[in-house]
A = this chain, B = another copy of it.
Amino acid sequence: MNAGFEFISSGTVTSPGGFMAGAAHAGIKKKDLDLGILASEMPCDAAGLFTRNRIKAAPVVLCQQRLKGGRATGVVVNSGCANACTGEQGLADAEEMASLAAAIIGTSPEQVLAASTGVIGHMLPMERLRAGIKQISLSRDGGHEFAKAIMTTDTVPKEVAVKVKEGNYIIGGAAKGAGMIHPDLATFLCFLTTDASVEPDFLQYALKQAADVSFNMVSIDGDTSTNDTLLLLANGRAGNQMISVDTESAEVFQRALGELCITLAKMMARDGEGATTLIEVTVSGAPDLAAARQVARTVASSTLVKTAVNGRDPNWGRVMAAAGRSGVEIVESKIDLYLNTICLAKAGRPQPFDHAGAVKQLSQTEVFFTLNLNLGSGSAIAWGCDLTEDYVRINSHHTT
């Protein structure tokens, strides 16, 4: 038992009580599952965060409208087509998709949210979608299929759940995202569920807090998508006393939700398109939290840092240069820089280090850079992945 909660073996988005899911291959993608429904037996309090891209996909517009009431029962998701840059017809298609799913779930259309991921600028193939959605049957163990249906260039599904002792509730999650990933969410869909009873305002607050230390600290390629969607549904089925702000139970919920999101965020970074290595950048001694986050994200997303890691090249000047262009008023002569436990620079100056040992450290599947700016007490962690020739291959041939 760690901090009041523990991870569940094979946990997923249907691990919390009262949630069901199912998926189908509708033919939006050439093969594999491409359509999924996630639903609760009873209406949920719902919170959401969405892309800050000025170009928003139709399902994002739909979610933002429907979440004003703070309630939802389920969500329908397709991969293979983003339904972005599709205008009024795109919005009508997203609405129809939600209505069709509502019939499967057995709820009213406005209780259903929608999300899409895939290529921008194409209309949803509605005939296939209509036929496909009828094949979906919801079940308590449908979470794993749902996690597969939302994948695009992901190589593995990303799903996890934690059980919280106090209150005896579960939080589950499924996410996708392997490219177009950058702070301010990512291309990136993530669906979180809980059977806890949570006060609605705190639910939205807790989701934002959790995203800020997890998904907003992941960068794969610097591109923020048009479809980023993060939803959290709470159905209260666990019968716990309602969790509200500034209570001990809120702290545990926040911690458990944060850890779950960090776990999913790291899964995303590790599975970045073409990636072989997870890069974790820890910044301490920053003037404040915002500065720490800024430096950590800039280093984790630097093309030259990412290629150096790919080449197993301890070219630490690239880390310094990225920190220097982050916009934070760092002081070169104060910076200490470590690769795992190897000190590369002390007070901004080169340190003699075991080059072969550093290359060996860089050859692991996880690499840790630690920068102490020695200016204040702000600290933050960001995640990224190496940039490989495979990334270029994958992204050079996406629609063709």
Chain B contacts for A368, CB-based, 8 A: none
Question: Do the beta carbons of A222 and B222 come within 8 Å of each other?
Answer: yes
Please tell me if A54 contacts chain B, counting CB pairs below 8 Å: yes
CA distance A333 to B88 in the complex (A): 10
Chain B contacts for A391, CB-based, 8 A: 307, 392
Please tell me if A78 contacts chain B, counting CB pairs below 8 Å: no
Chain A positions 77 through 101: 1 when the CB is less than 8 Å from some CB of chain B, otherwise 0: 0000010111100000000000000
- A55: which of B123, B320, B396, B398 is its contact (CB, 8 Å)? B320
Please tell me if A254 contacts chain B, counting CB pairs below 8 Å: no
Chain A positions 387 through 400: 1 when the CB is less than 8 Å from some CB of chain B, otherwise 0: 11101110111111
Please tell me if A357 contacts chain B, counting CB pairs below 8 Å: no
Given the known inter-chain contacts A321-B53, A324-B55, please indicate yes or no for A348 contacting B87, CB distance below 8 A: yes
Please tell me if A267 contacts chain B, counting CB pairs below 8 Å: no
Question: Do the beta carbons of A395 and B311 come within 8 Å of each other?
Answer: yes
Chain B contacts for A330, CB-based, 8 A: 54-55
Given the known inter-chain contacts A55-B332, A224-B325, please indicate yes or no for A399 contacting B85, CB distance below 8 A: no
Chain B contacts for A344, CB-based, 8 A: 121
- A392: which of B53, B313, B389 is its contact (CB, 8 Å)? B389
Question: Do the beta carbons of A85 and B349 come within 8 Å of each other?
Answer: yes
Question: Do the beta carbons of B121 and A303 come within 8 Å of each other?
Answer: no
8 intermolecular pairs with C-beta atoms under 8 Å apart: A82-B317, A84-B317, A86-B349, A222-B303, A223-B321, A225-B321, A311-B395, A388-B392
